[in-house]
Amino acid sequence: MGWTSLTRDTRGVAMTEFAIIMPMLLALVFGIIEFGHFIAYSNAVETAAREGARYGSAVGIGVNGQPQHIDCIGIRDAARAKINLVTINNPDVDVRYDEGPGTALEPYNCNAGPFPLVSDVANGGRIIVTITVAYDPLLDSLPLVGPLLNGVSVTAVDRRSIYPGNL
Structurally, the chain folds into a number of domains equal to: 1
Q: What's the pLDDT band for 4 if we cut at 50, 70, 90?
A: low
In Å, how far from its chain's centre is CA 136?
Answer: 11
Phi-psi region of 60 (alpha: psi -120 to 50; beta: other; left: phi over 0): left
Is it the case that residue 1 has pLDDT exceeding 60? no
How much is the pLDDT for 54?
93
Select, from the ranges 12-21, 60-69, 101-110, the one with the highest average predicted confidence (pLDDT): 12-21
Is it the case that residue 66 has pLDDT exceeding 60? yes
How much is the pLDDT for 31?
83
Structural domain including 119 reads 3-166
How much is the pLDDT for 144?
65
| Separation of alpha carbons 106 and 116, rounded Å | 9
Least confident of 6-10, 16-20, 80-84, 91-95: 6-10
3 state SS for the chain: CCHHHHCCCCCCHHHHHHHHHHHHHHHHHHHHHHHHHHHHHHHHHHHHHHHHHHHHHCCCECCCCCEHHHCHHHHHHHHHHCCCCCCCCHHHEEEEEECCCCCCCCCCECCCCCCCCHHHCCCCEEEEEEEEEECCCCCCCCCCCHHHHCCCEEEEEEEEEECHHHC
Is it the case that residue 13 has pLDDT exceeding 70? yes
Q: What's the pLDDT band for 8 if we cut at 50, 70, 90?
A: low
For residues 61-79, average pLDDT: 85
Q: Over the stretch 38-65, which tens digit does the pLDDT of each residue have?
A: 899 999 999 999 999 999 888 888 877 8
Select, from the ranges 38-42, 106-110, 145-149, 163-167, the one with the highest average predicted confidence (pLDDT): 38-42
Least confident of 69-78, 79-88, 93-102, 112-121: 112-121
Strand-pairing partners, residue 157, are: 130
On whether the CB atoms of residues 166 and 145 are closer than 8 A, the answer is no
